[in-house]
Amino acid sequence: MTDSIRLIELAAITSHERAALMRRTEADLDDLMPKVDSIIAAVREEGDAALARFAQLFDRAPVEAHALKATEADFERAQHSLAPDVKAAIDYAVENIRTFHRAQLPESMWLKEIRPGAYAGEVARPIPSVACYVPRGKGAFPSVTMMTTIPAVVAGVPRIIVLTPPGPDGRVDDATLVACAAAGVREVYMVGGAQAVAAAAYGTATIPRVDKIIGPGSPWVVAAKRRLSHRLDTGLPAGPSEALILADGTANGALAGLDLLIEAEHGPDSSAYLVTDSREVAEAAIAAIPGYWQTMGDQRVDFSRTVLSGPRGGVVLAPDLDAAIAFVNDYAPEHLSILSDTPFDHLGRIDNAAEILLGHHSVLTLGNFLLGPNCVLPTGGHARTWSPLSVHDFMKRCSIGYVTGPGYAELARHARVLATYEGFEAHANAVSPTRDRILNGRAS
């Protein structure tokens, strides 16, 4: 099976072939748009009835229009049904994630004296409402539940809802409900895909319209977010999973192969590359992977084999470390793992990556579930300009200014010059002697 893992000699490919390595699934959405448009229109016109119909059609779930919301009985059942070790792991992860995001909280207000008697600053406020989208199609993701809801709770968002597809039994995954409860969120709705984004954008009789939706999703979700970005804030672009493993000559190839499978197993629309300047590391990784596949279930093997043999995965052999790092920065991955005895030597050269995990023990698995930093990350090369999900995504900043009487005169003089130059007469009059006469009249 080693011949099913693609090996790309970076020095031997054309610029066109290199550009093809950079493409992700969500870049190709044109064919989906007409279908997504029809889903959005149906939700807008029919509301809950459309959501129930799509749940039956797409999720094969017996969901009724009057029962889209998880009940308190559902929460209680989940608490009693979920295995104790899973509940303990969720509690452990919640504590770490909450600690990390509390450390991110900005000051509620700050002021700085810009000039004598003139102050400027900001106040931070939570956004009014948010929908946290938790995917379900290729598994259940209490980790995403925690990563999306906890920073929203820490930020103080007044209304937080969770949108997640129902399972075949027509219910929300037990671990997702337990994670919601641990985070402090009790409003959960059984809806997924493009129809969930439409429900968040327009609202239905059951599901409230919200100001923002965050969370990763399928190309259908990505397409719906693009289409509805004029209706609500669609947050950072988080599509199918992707990862680069950067391994220098000190890395163990078998370990690199082990880690390469982490994001590749998410699904056939994922992207995963091992990037190395060492042929020995590359060959050892390729040789080790079939043995790891023997320990995995058929579906995850199929997913990862599809990725590693297809156009969005494999092993990239660079002619030197400079070329390997240049590839990483061009790719701007969602996840980057640096396998090296001296990973901090490479850190300063990484400009574009949403998450950077350093060294042999900082496994992507830990970052995905419970290390603390958020695992909802920009994909599709958007790590060039976007940051990981954080409390800041659930807050807004308002600028504030305060000018004292003694501080006013100098600012007014310069402001009047600029206003006059730009032709704004009312602006200029507001800082002219007219203001002084009015204020003096009040004082007298």
The answer to whether 232 and 219 have CB atoms below 8 angstroms apart is no
Domain with residue 352: its CATH number is: 3.40.50.1980
Same domain, 276 and 192: no
CB atoms inside a 10 Å sphere around CB 350: 16
CA distance 309 to 261: 12
Same domain, 54 and 155: yes
Same domain, 329 and 437: no
Q: Is 334 a catalytic residue?
A: yes
Helix 174-183 crosses helix 84-104 at what angle (to 10 degrees)?
40
In this prediction, residue 267 carries a pLDDT of 86
Same domain, 131 and 199: yes
Q: Which of 211, 237, 263 is the last residue of a domain?
A: 237
The three-state DSSP-derived secondary structure of 221-245 is: HHHHHHHCCCCCECCCCCCCCEEEE
Same domain, 141 and 233: yes
- How many independent structural domains does the chain possess? 3
CA distance 391 to 102: 8
Same domain, 221 and 88: yes
Q: Is 346 a catalytic residue?
A: no
- 391 in a domain, yes or no? no
- 122 in a domain, yes or no? no
The residue length of the chain stands at: 444
- 227 in a domain, yes or no? yes
Name the catalytic one among 266, 335, 346, 382.
Answer: 335
- 383 in a domain, yes or no? no
CB atoms inside a 10 Å sphere around CB 147: 30
Q: Which of 218, 237, 256 is the last residue of a domain?
A: 237
Pairing of strands 188-190, 159-164: parallel
Same domain, 203 and 93: yes
Same domain, 252 and 304: yes
Same domain, 225 and 281: no
In this prediction, residue 27 carries a pLDDT of 62
Domain that holds residue 368: 2-24+240-372
- 381 in a domain, yes or no? no
**Coil, strand, or helix at residue 13?**
coil
Same domain, 59 and 11: no
Same domain, 77 and 220: yes
Walk along the chain (444 residues) in steps of 10 and give the mean pLDDT of each run.
Answer: 80 95 80 95 97 94 94 96 97 97 96 96 98 86 96 98 94 96 97 97 98 91 93 89 96 97 92 97 97 94 94 96 98 97 97 97 96 94 96 97 96 97 97 93 58
In this prediction, residue 146 carries a pLDDT of 97
In this prediction, residue 218 carries a pLDDT of 83
Q: Which of 354, 372, 390 is the last residue of a domain?
A: 372
Name the catalytic one among 334, 346, 355, 382.
Answer: 334
